[in-house]
Amino acid sequence: MMLEICKKAQAASVQLAKLSTEEKNLTVCKMAEALEANADQILSANKKDAEAAKAKGLKTALLDRLALDNRKIANMARCLREVAEIDDPVGEIIKTWTRPNGLMIGQMRVPLGVVGIIYESRPDVTSDASGICIKSGNAVVLRGGSDAINSNIAIGEVLRDALANTAVPVDAVQVVSSTDRSVAEEFMRMRKYVDVLIPRGGADLIRTVVEKASIPVIETGTGNCHIYVEEDADLDRAMPIIINAKCQRPGTCNAAEKLLVHQNIVEQFLPVAIAALRKEGVEVRGCKKTAAIVADVKLATEEDWYTEYLDFIIGVKVVKDLDEAIAHINKYGTKHSESILTANFDKALRFIREVDSAAVYWNASTRFTDGNQFGLGAEIGISTQKLHARGPMSVQHLTTTKYFILGSGQIRK
């Protein structure tokens, strides 16, 4: 079953790679129109999923992600129209040069081919990922979780119907209708047909895909993000940044999960900071020194320092200096986003250089790690690995390059 799907995807990708920017943009806009025109069909499928999930006792946060309404469908359509606006990376000539023997060499951006997405209960991923993949010239195979299967199939049908009247082959978008684990595992080994696999979801999903896949995987999303307050930080400016990073949307991967504070300012800063966090409803788990300074702080365990809470919880640790802060982040972090609050350029520079994460901030909230916030356009996830793409994976990160070499009979001596 997966073999058939992946073969069709590869065949579609060959056609798709040849299309013009106009043809792709027109298609993505037609997909947006189709979502709006068929909202009822999608919502009725989504209702089935939502009812089954409620009956199963899914957590509220998951139910929220799963449930669609007209506003969410309008957002999905808007996301597609935004994708149409992004510059087309395909065909871009990155560089050209001439060798002493007269060979002219160039490097051209081309689509990856087939992108596989394995995701959990967010049905909007089905349409967002389809738009991003088509714009970047890639076919996509979408394997969503069982909780959203009716929604995903309905969205897939609407999008494929929209493709039928465009230059993009219908099989450029395929939703896997089976949610069997064995089918997913088969999918993960389709190396011959699928060029990259992007898991979107919790840490368990990502770990499974990394372990089982023979297709190259791009790890996304896990964000145990840190904010480090240096002794010379502007403390008035620090609090809004910390509150924003922790509380604006605690369920996102770029939300802060840990607060590190230089030992020289703890007496002055920690009581104020923790009171402000508690006022926002944040539970504080602290190191021994934190607990000694502020009352009623639950002691953080070793496990806490590794944990991405995705909730109104924060771990607070007092550190000796910048060295300890950097070492702590590099040991316990997930290489996502970290911020230093300091007035000192040398310290900021060391933090930026030595913290091994996709996005390193100076005096700003970690919440900006996002394709749109960076100005890159819609993204398919935040890569926390170092190969291929690091940070927000936008349309241009779903491409590769090829060398073209123009000669006039050159042979190697």
Binding site for a copy of itself (CB under 8 A): 14, 17-18, 97, 99, 103, 105, 108, 110, 112-113, 191, 195-196, 210-211, 214, 216-218, 234, 237, 240-241, 244-245, 248, 330, 348, 352-354, 356-365, 367-369, 373-375, 385-388, 390-391, 400-412
Question: Of the two residues 253 and 348, which places its CB atom closer to a copy of itself in the complex?
Answer: 348
Work out how close the CB of 154 gets to a copy of itself at its nearest, in angstroms, rounded to a whole number: 32
Question: Of the two residues 56 and 353, which places its CB atom closer to a copy of itself in the complex?
Answer: 353
Question: Of the two residues 102 and 271, which places its CB atom closer to a copy of itself in the complex?
Answer: 102
Question: Of the two residues 287 and 389, which places its CB atom closer to a copy of itself in the complex?
Answer: 389
- The SS3 of residue 339 is strand
Taking phi over 0 as left and psi of -120 to 50 as alpha, with beta for the rest, 57 belongs to: left
Residue type, 326: I
- The SS3 of residue 227 is strand
Work out how close the CB of 43 gets to a copy of itself at its nearest, in angstroms, rounded to a whole number: 29
Work out how close the CB of 314 gets to a copy of itself at its nearest, in angstroms, rounded to a whole number: 16
Work out how close the CB of 109 gets to a copy of itself at its nearest, in angstroms, rounded to a whole number: 11
CA 14 to chain centre: 26
CA pair distance 61, 66, nearest whole angstrom: 9
Work out how close the CB of 87 gets to a copy of itself at its nearest, in angstroms, rounded to a whole number: 14
Instruction: For residue 244, give Cα distances in angstroms to 136, 232, 234, 277.
Output: 33, 20, 16, 10
Instruction: For residue 41, give Cα distances in angstroms to 50, 113, 209, 302.
Output: 14, 31, 32, 48
Query: Euclidean distance between the first and final Cα of the chain, in Å?
Result: 50
Task: Determine whether 95 is exposed, middle or buried from the number of CB atoms within 10 Å of its CB (0-12, 13-18, 19+).
Answer: exposed
CB 148, CB 66: distance < 8 Å: yes
Work out how close the CB of 90 gets to a copy of itself at its nearest, in angstroms, rounded to a whole number: 10
Question: Of the two residues 73 and 184, which places its CB atom closer to a copy of itself in the complex?
Answer: 184
| Tokens, residue 68 | 């669609």
Work out how close the CB of 323 gets to a copy of itself at its nearest, in angstroms, rounded to a whole number: 12
| Tokens, residue 167 | 């230059």
Q: Which of 12, 5, 4 is nearest to 141 (CA)?
A: 5
Question: Of the two residues 113 and 201, which places its CB atom closer to a copy of itself in the complex?
Answer: 113
Beta bridge partners of 313: 283
Residue 239: count of CB within 10 angstroms of its CB = 17
Question: Of the two residues 30 and 246, which places its CB atom closer to a copy of itself in the complex?
Answer: 246
Work out how close the CB of 138 gets to a copy of itself at its nearest, in angstroms, rounded to a whole number: 10
Cα dihedral: 167, 171, 173, 176 (round 10): 170
Question: Of the two residues 63 and 105, which places its CB atom closer to a copy of itself in the complex?
Answer: 105
CB 104, CB 96: distance < 8 Å: yes
Work out how close the CB of 55 gets to a copy of itself at its nearest, in angstroms, rounded to a whole number: 36
Question: Of the two residues 59 and 412, which places its CB atom closer to a copy of itself in the complex?
Answer: 412
